[in-house]
Structure 1
Amino acid sequence: MGLRTRRAVASLGIMIFLIGYIWVAIAVGGLIPDHPLALLTYYALAGTLWGLPLFPLLSWAEGKPFFKRR
């Protein structure tokens, strides 16, 4: 698979992932107690941790192995 194709597939995968992630984050956010510190903590974590699951996908899109085998 060529680099352009990998990047296109990765872009589509990122969009699908983000739509699902946002939907789940909003649903779970509705279950958080209505305390400002609890909401701030939850949305701060949810707003920053979304990128972690995308590292392997982005690495694959660039043609570099994410996990190096020894």
Structure 2
Amino acid sequence: MRTEPTWRIPVGILGLIAGLILYGFIIARYAPGIIGDWPTWAQTLVYLVLGIIWLKPLRNFLIWMETGHWGVPRQD
């Protein structure tokens, strides 16, 4: 367990918030123009996928915030 504070956690939280705001603006700006005429069920499916897709890189990002390594460090 870490005993000293690290700069990565506050920077990571601010980066995560900024990234999610940017991602939200991009989706809100471009998605309705692309899928606005689709059936409601298809739009719902697209927005569900777009709402979940940002979770994929989140694991590695949280590992970096805690350890300073991108992804799971290998145990050689």
TM tier, shorter chain?
A: 0.7 to 0.9
Residues in 2 aligned to 1:25 and 1:55: alpha-carbon distance in whole angstroms: 21
Give the conservation status (yes or no) of the 8 Å contact 1:3–1:63. no
Per chain length, whose mean CA-contact separation is higher, i.e. which structure has more relative contact order (CA < 8 Å, sep 6+)? Answer: 1
Residues in 2 aligned to 1:60 and 1:18: alpha-carbon distance in whole angstroms: 17
Give the alignment's TM-score, normalised by structure 2: 0.73
- Normalized per residue, the structure richer in helix is 1
Give the conservation status (yes or no) of the 8 Å contact 1:6–1:61. yes
Where does residue 15 of structure 2 map in the other structure?
A: 13
Q: Give the greater-gyration-radius structure (CA).
A: 2
Percent of residue pairs identical: 26
Unpaired stretches in structure 1, ≥5 consecutive residues? none
Aligned pairs for 1:1-70 (under 5 A) are 3-30=5-32, 31-32=34-35, 33-63=37-67, 65=69, 66-68=71-73
Q: How many positions carry a matched residue from both structures? A: 69
Give the alignment's TM-score, normalised by structure 1: 0.78
Which amino acid letter does the alignment assign opposite residue 58 of structure 1? L
Residues in 2 aligned to 1:62 and 1:39: alpha-carbon distance in whole angstroms: 36
Give the conservation status (yes or no) of the 8 Å contact 2:63–2:72. no
Residues in 1 aligned to 2:11 and 2:21: alpha-carbon distance in whole angstroms: 16
C-alpha RMSD of matched pairs (Å) = 2.0
Unpaired stretches in structure 2, ≥5 consecutive residues? none
